[in-house]
Amino acid sequence: MGDIVKVKEMETFPADLIVVSSNFEKGECYIETASLDGEKNVKPRMSPKETLNSYHNSTGIMRLEGRIICGLPDPDLGNFNGSLFYMGKKIFVNIKQFLYRGAILKNTKWVIGIVAYTGNDTKILRNSEESKFKQSNVEEKMNHLLMFILLFQAICCIFSACGNYIWHNLEFKKHWYLYLQYDIKIEAVLTYFTYFLLYNTMIPISLIVTLEMVK
């Protein structure tokens, strides 16, 4: 904040600026804000009268000494209020002197501006939002049904594992030709994953592929 920047025609403003001078005698300039609001028509801006002669383009020398006070950053593109203390005078500045970061200078050879906001405090970043994940109603309903099927499959596997554990406790000893490779509890756990593979046909993978192909 407070840095002095010179922007030439067709260049993009690197930060939110307060215009203090331009190549026009009255200090007017024009900007295009299509990157912010989509409007391609140019918008006029006007520098304060007190700072018009602070920059001499022929020599490239500028004398500007003072202090600037800006309001808190906000995303409202049509709102800005601040004060510029220059040569012992308090100059009120508003949206008419405000140049947005990302806007393009048009129909003006050059402007001189004082940086008001930078980084995440600029208007363009205050209005930027993270892209939202879009999902159709059919996909959302299908995902809910798949979660229900997966939960039902897990419950079936638990019942199968419990049945395996009970059968080994009650009936296994009656069958002398059978033997256990592991302990009964370990066998029940392995049975759970075995039935999980056997029940995986409950999830309609072909339906998901079909929906993607239709899309």
Q: Which CATH number does the domain housing residue 20 bear?
A: 2.70.150
- The pLDDT of residue 58: 62
State whether 120 and 144 are in the same domain: no
Q: Which domain holds residue 107?
A: 4-126
Domain limit, last residue, from 67, 94, 126: 126
The pLDDT score that the predictor gives to residue 129 is 67
pLDDT, tens digit (0-9, with 9 covering 90-100), for 47-64: 888 887 777 666 666 667
pTM over 0.85: no
Query: Pick from 128, 108, 130, 131: which is nearest to 17 by CA?
Result: 108
**What's the whole-number average pLDDT of the chain?**
83
How high is the pLDDT of residue 31?
Answer: 92
Are 112 and 9 found together in one domain? yes
- Asked whether the predicted pLDDT for residue 176 surpasses 60, the reply is no
Choice among 27-31, 95-99, 166-170, 191-195 with the minimum mean pLDDT: 166-170
Same domain? For 202 and 143 the reply is: yes
Are 78 and 174 part of one and the same domain?
Answer: no
Does 131 reside within a domain? no
Q: What's the structural domain count of the chain? A: 2
pLDDT at residue 133 tops 80: no
CA distance 81 to 95: 7
Distance of CA 200 to the CA centre of its chain: 38
Whether residue 154 is predicted with pLDDT greater than 70 in this model: the reply is yes
